[in-house]
Amino acid sequence: MTEPAPSRIDDACDSANRRVHVITYGCQMNVYDSRRIVQVLGAQGWVETGDPAMADLVLVNSCSVRDRPEQKILGTLSRLLPLKEAHPGVRFGVCGCVAQQHGQALLDKVPYIDLVFGPDRIADLPAILAATEDGRRESRTTLDAPSDYSFLDVDPSVEPGPTAFLTIMKGCDRFCAYCIVPYVRGRQVSKAADRVLAEVQSLVAGGVREVTLLGQNVNAYGKDRPGEPDFPSLLSRIAAVPGLDRLRFVTSHPADADDRMLDSFGALPVLAESLHLPVQSGSDTVLARMRRGYTAAQYLERLARVRRACPDIALSTDFIVGFPGETDAEFDATLRLVETARFDSMFSFKYSPRPGTLAARTIDDVPEALKAQRLARLQAVQDRITIQRMARYLGREEEVLIEGPSRDTRSGGRGKAILEMQGRTRTNLTVNLPADIPIREARGRLARVRIDEVLVHSLRGTVLAWEAA
């Protein structure tokens, strides 16, 4: 989840345009913010380039949720330093959560960074660039008060394909003990429902077929806007938008995942059959120390409810191992929950203290080697279950939305025909398949596909029928 997402290469550069190269780490919210950065700069005549050597501005959109985020961005930028030496006019910037967290301190510490801006300051980018035109350096990290926050409208023309993210809220009010998000992204602010609907309509009109709604805790959507619809009502309203084929959302908090939300699966045909519901631990005592607001039994009851509503749903989750004070018995409770829940897939992380959070006041007392051992044991259990869950796809017919050339063959040799294409099932699994029509015609179309082979995390199949063009 923390690998940089590829930048879209815009071939439409002409020499008069200035070029920006954006490197994105972290969650979908950062991917979304990077599109907004390209959009704001596009309005000023900038174009995006996939080649940092061509760029006048290199931006690293950073993530501070785990690991050693500062080292990661400094490593990335220092590798690009020769570009600055070759072209002294090139500016380096850091944005995203690390920028928000460290602000001016990044400029003080790292001489080759020219600009730093937080997630609430994307709209200020033209002013920041004007201020740093002549070699001056600038940091802007003010977080807007919820009442002042204004979302940037999504522009379908900067979306890279038939799928798009759409932010419906920013920030988070939950303050889980380990999590830095409420500090770097601020308090929860929901976007007005009418605006969300207008944006979905404009994405669909621009050719987008699948929309993923984004927020740190989408289930709490609307709670900060009295009179606005809540999340299940928002889903119903979006489901009525003509032309939208698939709707997804991330991320959900189990304590806010109410029955109406869970029952939407199965009830709203547009809602694709996958749900990411982070549990973090299977131990009630760890969950209490994490301040998650539910027990393991309540979590499992949420899973049972959504499976009753939609039996084939693909369920994924997040775990943190080695939270302060985690005992062997508490970790065993996590393993038991994994056996019971039978997730389709899982992301799991070693706990790392984040400055300023509640948990960081407690000693990080689980030794690194034990965290690594627990992570490996947890992943081994899930790997076995994933293989069992994946087996059900063999021989099945799936609806696949074709996104483009397959990753394996995309870069294969200049001028060579790319024969493999890639798409996703409604359960959000990647399918690679031979291209029986030119990929540019296939892109953005739905196909009925027979699954011929099940791999560890992806499928292979053959097109049985195309939807009418």
CB of 69 to ligand SF4, least distance (A): 15
458-466 vs 430-434, strand pairing mode: parallel
Distance CA 78, CA 184 (A): 24
CB of 213 to ligand SF4, least distance (A): 15
Among positions 41, 47, 57, 65, the unique one binding ligand 5AD when judged by CB under 6 A: 65
Find the part of the chain contacting ligand SF4 (CB under 6 A) among 95-103, 168-176, 224-232, 453-461. 168-176
* Closest to ligand SF4 by CB, 100 or 432: 100
Distance CA 337, CA 330 (A): 11
- Look at residue 94 and give its three-state secondary structure: strand
* Closest to ligand SF4 by CB, 320 or 429: 320
420-424 vs 430-434, strand pairing mode: antiparallel
> Which 253-272 residues touch ligand SF4, going by CB under 6 A?
253
List the structure tokens of 184: 């770097």
Among positions 98, 168, 172, 179, the unique one binding ligand 5AD when judged by CB under 6 A: 179
Which DSSP letter does residue 225 get? S
* Closest to ligand SF4 by CB, 46 or 183: 183
Strand positions, DSSP E, 353-439: 397-405, 420-424, 430-434
* Closest to ligand SF4 by CB, 253 or 276: 253
Instruction: Fill in the amino acid letter for 348.
Output: S
Q: Please choose which of ligand 5AD, ligand SF4, none residue 167 contacts, taking the beta carbon within 5 to 8 angstroms, the exact cut-off set by kind.
A: none
Among positions 143, 179, 214, 257, the unique one binding ligand SF4 when judged by CB under 6 A: 179
> Which 210-249 residues touch ligand SF4, going by CB under 6 A?
216-217
Handedness of CA 156, 159, 161, 163 (dihedral sign): negative
Give the phi and the psi of residue 420 in degrees, each rounded to 5.
-105, 140
* Closest to ligand SF4 by CB, 138 or 326: 326
Binding string, 342-361, against ligand 5AD, x = CB under 6 A? -------x-xx-x-------
> Which 369-408 residues touch ligand SF4, going by CB under 6 A?
none
Q: Please choose which of ligand SF4, ligand 5AD, none residue 254 contacts, taking the beta carbon within 5 to 8 angstroms, the exact cut-off set by kind.
A: none
Find the part of the chain contacting ligand SF4 (CB under 6 A) among 50-58, 170-178, 300-308, 364-372. 170-178
CB of 217 to ligand SF4, least distance (A): 5
Among positions 53, 67, 145, 175, the unique one binding ligand SF4 when judged by CB under 6 A: 175
397-405 vs 420-424, strand pairing mode: antiparallel
* Closest to ligand 5AD by CB, 113 or 179: 179
280 is an interface residue for ligand 5AD by CB under 6 A = yes
Among 214, 350, 328, 216, smallest CA distance to 280 is for 350
Strand order across the beta sheet in which 163-167 lies: 163-167, 210-214, 246-250
CB of 32 to ligand 5AD, least distance (A): 15
* Closest to ligand 5AD by CB, 151 or 323: 323
Size of the site for ligand 5AD (CB under 6 A): 12
Distance CA 411, CA 409 (A): 6
Scanning 122-222, the segments in alpha helix (DSSP H) are 125-131, 181-185, 193-205
CB of 232 to ligand 5AD, least distance (A): 22
* Closest to ligand SF4 by CB, 27 or 90: 27
Q: Please choose which of ligand 5AD, ligand SF4, none residue 182 contacts, taking the beta carbon within 5 to 8 angstroms, the exact cut-off set by kind.
A: ligand SF4
* Closest to ligand SF4 by CB, 358 or 418: 358
Helix axes 231-239, 193-205, angle to 10 degrees: 30
CB of 352 to ligand 5AD, least distance (A): 4
DSSP string, 5-54: BPPPP-TT--TTSEEEEEEE-SSHHHHHHHHHHHHHHHTTTEEE-S-GGG
CB of 179 to ligand SF4, least distance (A): 3
Greatest Cα pair distance, the chain, in angstroms, is 64
Could you report how far apart the first and last alpha carbons of the chain are, in Å?
A: 34
Binding string, 305-334, against ligand 5AD, x = CB under 6 A? -------------x-x--------------
CB of 251 to ligand 5AD, least distance (A): 7
Residue 94 near residue 106 (C-beta atoms within 8 A): yes
Strand order across the beta sheet in which 345-350 lies: 274-276, 314-321, 345-350
Distances (CA, A) of 11 to 27, 38, 50: 27, 14, 9
Instruction: List residues near ligand 5AD by CB under 6 A.
Output: 65-66, 178-179, 278, 280, 318, 320, 349, 351-352, 354
Instruction: List residues near ligand SF4 by CB under 6 A.
Output: 172, 174-176, 179, 181-182, 216-217, 253
